[in-house]
Structure 1
Amino acid sequence: MLYISKKIYVPLLLLIGCFSLSCSSNIVNTSPNDKISVATSIFPIYSIANQIATDKIIVNLLIQPGDSPHTFTPTISAKQITERVDRVYIIDDNFDYAILNIIDDKSKKLALNNNIKLRKYDDAEHKDDDAEHKDDDAEHKDDDAEHKDDDAEHKDDDGHAHGEYDPHYWLSPNNAIQIARNITDDLKEIDPGNASAYEKNYDTFEKSVSNLFVQLKEDVSEITDRPFIVMHEGWDYFIDAFELNLVGAFETVGAESPTPKYLAGLQETINEKNVVAIFSEPQLSVSSIQQFIKDNDLLTAVLDPIGGIDGRMTYQELIKYNVSTLVKTLR
């Protein structure tokens, strides 16, 4: 009879037990660290994804609230997140240029603009005419500069890029519903075992946003004819959704600094249309517009395209905040 001492027997049992557990752990994910996970570039998408995923999938945020996507510099932690998640949800390749650069496996990224009608910047209805006419120096660039690659041609000084289409499509409630649809369909593919839960969560989100949209359209009905301007050109989807009277922007496409000629045209618009207010954004510095505000005797308030702070912790709260701010200021 083979005799095994207690010193050998106990570790042997532990080894056998550990082997059995390791085999079963490959089938059942019992640890939060084993959950399927995704990442989103900006907070509004994070909020929508969270409402679809609930506790089934871990959702990470890459650009933190308070940071501007236009000036975002990827961190080491953001890079690490993109390496471990199963999917990275972005607005588009141009808007999320910095995020795209830290995604090694490009098959992970998914732009959420599928089945959304995008606005070409040239088709924006509320641009000031002078914005179409650049200064002569800008018009007559050297041939070499004119023929740069598209990505390099449209980068801002901080590395952010803008393309042919306005990427701020999430600011339309109807587009947010389509974003939720796109996320739902993707999560059902990634995690088919919870497909019914994602579909149910989508229905809840769709009803919530649709009902809120109806309510908010009633709230803005008294100010739809009031002319106003914004600091950053990125509100056209929101303006179209709520049928508001935006007549200009202090900064043009891509948060570029306005030329003296552009500002002269904007000031003329303010005088002609009796504009009384300009709306800034929490992610952008307002120091550059203080004198402009004073010279034109404008009221000021803050519209927020991103959210993620108290009172704007869900997509619904964010849209409600912006409508409420407009109504209080323009009433």
Structure 2
Amino acid sequence: MSVPLTFDPTTLNFSYTQFETVKDERSRIIGFSLNRPFGKAGSIFATAFTDLDHKDSFGVFAGLSIPFGSDIYASTGVSSDSEGTAVTTDLVKSENAEIGSVGWRIRDTEGAYVNRAASASYRAPIARFEAGVQQYEDLFRATAQVDGAVVLAGGDIFLSNRIDDAFAVVDAGVPGVEVQYENRPAGRTNRQGKLLVPDLRSYEPNQITIDPNLPVDANVAGTREVSVPADRSGTVVKFAVETGVQAALVTLRDEAGDYLETGAAGEIEGSPEHFTVGYDGQAYITGLGPRNRAIIDQPTRGRCVAEFAFQAQKGEQVAIPDAVCRPVQ
């Protein structure tokens, strides 16, 4: 039973548990706890229990928790039971799901017994690593743990963090492309232009996008895809980014030196590519060759033809200024 107080933000909780085992062992446990927030995000808590059938079975624990920033908090508390009284202090930095996230925890218990521990974790692109040391009375131990997955998909082998549900292999075709999953950074594509996204939801739409800030000589049809993978399986999401595109930003003028009309439609002779003239006579034209003949239909001035040369420059946006479009006789 949980009872929030009407005159104070404190919440009281009462419980009664009764059970019997097949060996006729019986317990009747009464429990009580309270929780009260204070400050911006701190809290005070207390818990007590006793077993009505075992007089030496009881416990009391009380403490407070204080956050420091968005992912670091400290807590301290005092516990007392049949073994004695002890004070426990924790300092914790929470780890999140993003690659490169670091988490750690330091704990110290003094009093009826000694329990000291420290641990740290790091979420790398290929796995999650965690290590820790602990002292309990006169006993010492050290632990290390690696959680990850090996995926063979999309023609490549990937090492990643643990996969518990579904995944996707994003194939952008270009290295270094930023990928977002549900508007959160998921990483950059590798040298083969691919990235494994390991934490998709199965049987649900998952939105995957890429940063449109691509190399200037690259072209992509779209930057957003939706994937719906099955449980414990994956999909390959292709964005088909093309590099080394034969394209240029062409400024088109008529014989009088005026810009062509905004909204004029054009095409390159002998090519299936079409384009539209924007403001200041500028048009982004793809599918170019060394020599090009553009046929353009203006809304009010009629048809004209512009001829110009093109030479690709790797990693640079080619600009062709003042291509003259002459009326068709």
TM-score, structure 1 normalization: 0.23
Q: Which has the higher contact order (CA 8 A, sep 6+)?
A: 1
TM-score, structure 2 normalization: 0.24
Larger radius of gyration: 2
- The structure richer in helix per residue is 1
- The structure richer in strand per residue is 2
